[in-house]
Amino acid sequence: MILLDGKETAKTIREELKAEVETLAPKHGRAPGLAVILVGEDPASQVYVRNKEKACENVGIVSVPHKLPADTSQEDLEALIEKLNADGSVDGILLQLPLPRGLDSQRCLELIDPGKDVDGFHPISVGKLTLGLPGFRSCTPAGVMNLLERYDIDPSGKKCVIIGRSNIVGKPQALMMLAKNATPVITHSRTKDLARECRDADIIVAALGRPKFLTADMVKEGAVVIDVGINRTDEGLCGDCDFEAVKDKVSAITPVPGGVGPMTIAQLLVNTVQAYREHVGA
């Protein structure tokens, strides 16, 4: 069994990006810039934002936090996004979700300049993904593809069952698998006989947010399991897969933590450097 080490792989990606930024920044007179908007005090979001800021610092991306109170109005949030759209030192804009109740996240996401949409959530980015055109890709599924590639796991011709159909993970994951010539199957809470679908899969991406949902009897011998889930339980952090029970049956699997999570952040950095390159013409 191969443990797909997202932590180590993300470290390698950061080192590569750092070298890239060190070469590009002096040539173009500035480092890449990422604006991070955090509204309210959601503890999990605060941790995510802090991790993203640390990762940026690590590779030489200037991350500028914009922390707003939970009672910020839609109007003020939109004004900030417009300001960042117009700011030439900002290559990427990240709006940390979820937003506090009362704020319209879809409206805000659509307001972000598509050229700065490093999270890949703008309808233009999603459209480009669907059409197979270059563009920003949603960080979690793109991080999964990057991890597979770095471990020489080629999805071509494989049946890939994705559990979960969210706009940020499940749906874009299926399109990215399709682009790599896999045969994706998206499953969800209304899927009949999900276990049978999973047993038939060469690759399973579990992204539903239910602790230890994927059990050994649902997994084919030799399958690859990618666990996107992050669940906080009394026993600590755990994924959507029953890792201990499944690990001896599979050919490769991601741990939680240390699997998809670090790859998601690494992909944000990749996207930010991509945006920077487009803005400075590198």
Catalytic (active-site) positions: 52, 96, 119
Half-sphere exposure (CA, 13 Å, Cβ side) for 212?
13
Q: What are the C-alpha distances in Å from 124 to residues 35, 106, 231?
A: 20, 13, 31
Between 187 and 271, name the residue whose CB sits nearer to ligand NAP: 187
CB 61 within 8 A of CB 31: yes
- Residue 208 binds to ligand NAP (criterion: CB under 6 A): yes
- Interface with ligand NAP (CB under 6 A), residue from 56, 99, 129, 194: 194
- Residue 170 binds to ligand NAP (criterion: CB under 6 A): yes
- Interface with ligand NAP (CB under 6 A), residue from 4, 108, 177, 260: 260
Distance from C-alpha of 239 to C-alpha of 6, rounded to nearest angstrom = 14
The phi, psi pair for 138, rounded to 5°, reads -50, 130
Buried b (16+ CB within 10 A) or exposed e, 103-120: beeeebbebbbbbbbbbb
- Residue 226 binds to ligand NAP (criterion: CB under 6 A): no
- Residue 166 binds to ligand NAP (criterion: CB under 6 A): yes
- Interface with ligand NAP (CB under 6 A), residue from 12, 23, 74, 189: 189
Between 195 and 282, name the residue whose CB sits nearer to ligand NAP: 195
Burial class (CB in 10 A: 0-12, 13-18, 19+), 132: exposed
Residues 24-43 that bind ligand NAP (CB under 6 A): none
The footprint of ligand NAP (CB under 6 A) covers: 140, 163-166, 168-170, 187-190, 194, 207-210, 228-231, 260-261, 264
